[in-house]
Amino acid sequence: MSEVYHIPVLAAESIEGMNLFSEADVVDATYGGGGHSKLIIDQLGKGRLFAFDQDEDAAGNALNDNRLYFIRHNFRYIKNFLNYYSVNQVDAIFADLGVSSHDFDVPDRGFSFRFEGNLDMRMNQNSNTDAAKIVNEYQEEQLERIFRMFGEIRNSKHLASVICRKRNEKPIKTTIQLKEVVAECTPRAIEHKFLAQVFQALRIEVNEEMDALQEFLMASLQILKSGGRLVVITYHSLEDRLCKNFMKTGNFEGKVEKDFYGNISSPFKLVNRKVITPRDEELKANNRSRSAKLRIAEKI
């Protein structure tokens, strides 16, 4: 195994939240650099860890441990691949929904506006759709929808219009080109935040992140044992809202359903009613943890 390149966020809190024991079957749905998986393995004796990641870099960083089963696929297919291993239910499922710090720091991946690189943003390098394809080929209405829904950008209509006008003059192929194209839409007071929203929206669309997350959460409910824990770290409001609603009510709209006697009907019991965020010491050591939110639920 190569050196772990991902600093695990909210590590102690996540491990405690999983309520692990020696013979537990566990899923790490977002292996990444292996930071959380290493800590999970340390808690297991004869237990097994099924780790998912569609990223080739993550596959090359897999732990050399016979208790680890690395599955190079999107976590939306978690149920199918556990069935392949004849695993029907597990004791804990963990997911850190953030993009690996490693990926942000590799210019060629195109995740960050801080570096010159191709407009890529694909988690799965075998995918046919990258960010350049979206920016240069999507209709203006499609771009407006992406920036409004996935970036929560107020002037998404203007932004989409500018991109379509500029791409007619010259294809937008790199991160720096995109940054220059959207400059006239970028509020100076919040330049960094605005660019982060633009890149986030494109990344979510490229990787179908919201659809994949919903499929993953639904599958998690099916494969968790009664008393099993679902532990998820989110980084932006869209994914956090989905996880919060799902853990609280069992649906993505947050619609509270009650039984005949008026009792709230939910497949989960919230372990932490108040969201867990990084402590000051962690924020100082790892600035990228600043937007992390940890939620934990136990299947009833």
Q: Does one domain contain both 117 and 34?
A: no
CATH of the domain at 23: 3.40.50.150
Q: What would the two tokens of residue 1 be?
A: 């195994």
Task: Look at 153 and 125; give whichever has higher pLDDT.
Answer: 153
The residues, ordered by sequence, that sit 6+ positions from 213 with a Cβ below 8 Å of its Cβ are 76, 97, 239, 242, 243
Query: Is 6 inside any structural domain?
Result: no
Span 40-53, pLDDT tens digits: 999 999 999 999 99
Model pTM score? 0.93
User: What number is the average pLDDT over the span 136-147?
Assistant: 98
pLDDT band at residue 3 under the 50/70/90 scheme:
very low
Q: Does one domain contain both 222 and 271?
A: yes
The residues, ordered by sequence, that sit 6+ positions from 182 with a Cβ below 8 Å of its Cβ are 159, 162, 163, 195, 198
The residues, ordered by sequence, that sit 6+ positions from 18 with a Cβ below 8 Å of its Cβ are 26, 40, 43, 92, 94, 229, 231
pLDDT at position 108 is: 75
pLDDT above 80 (res 4): no
pLDDT at position 104 is: 64
pLDDT at position 105 is: 66
pLDDT band at residue 222 under the 50/70/90 scheme:
very high
CA 211 – CA 209 distance, rounded (Å): 6
User: What number is the average pLDDT over the span 270-294?
Assistant: 95
- CA-derived radius of gyration, the chain: 20
User: What number is the average pLDDT over the span 111-135?
Assistant: 93
CA 31 – CA 194 distance, rounded (Å): 29
Domain of 181 in residue numbering reads as 104-207
CATH of the domain at 132: 1.10.150.170
Q: What percent of the chain has pLDDT over 70?
A: 96
pLDDT at position 102 is: 65
Spatial contact of 129 and 207, defined as CB atoms under 8 Å apart: no
Span 53-102, pLDDT tens digits: 998 888 888 899 999 999 999 999 999 999 999 999 999 999 999 987 66
Span 199-217, pLDDT tens digits: 999 999 999 999 999 999 9
Query: Is 258 inside any structural domain?
Result: yes
pLDDT above 60 (res 277): yes
User: What number is the average pLDDT over the span 128-155?
Assistant: 97
User: What number is the average pLDDT over the span 138-157?
Assistant: 97
pLDDT band at residue 1 under the 50/70/90 scheme:
very low
Per-chain mean pLDDT for the chain: 94
CA 77 – CA 52 distance, rounded (Å): 9
Spatial contact of 134 and 122, defined as CB atoms under 8 Å apart: no
Indicate the residue among 159, 186, 207 that finishes a domain.
207
Indicate the residue among 171, 189, 207 that finishes a domain.
207
Q: Does one domain contain both 292 and 215?
A: yes
User: What number is the average pLDDT over the span 179-191?
Assistant: 95
Q: What would the two tokens of residue 186 be?
A: 């970028």
Spatial contact of 231 and 18, defined as CB atoms under 8 Å apart: yes
Query: Is 233 inside any structural domain?
Result: yes
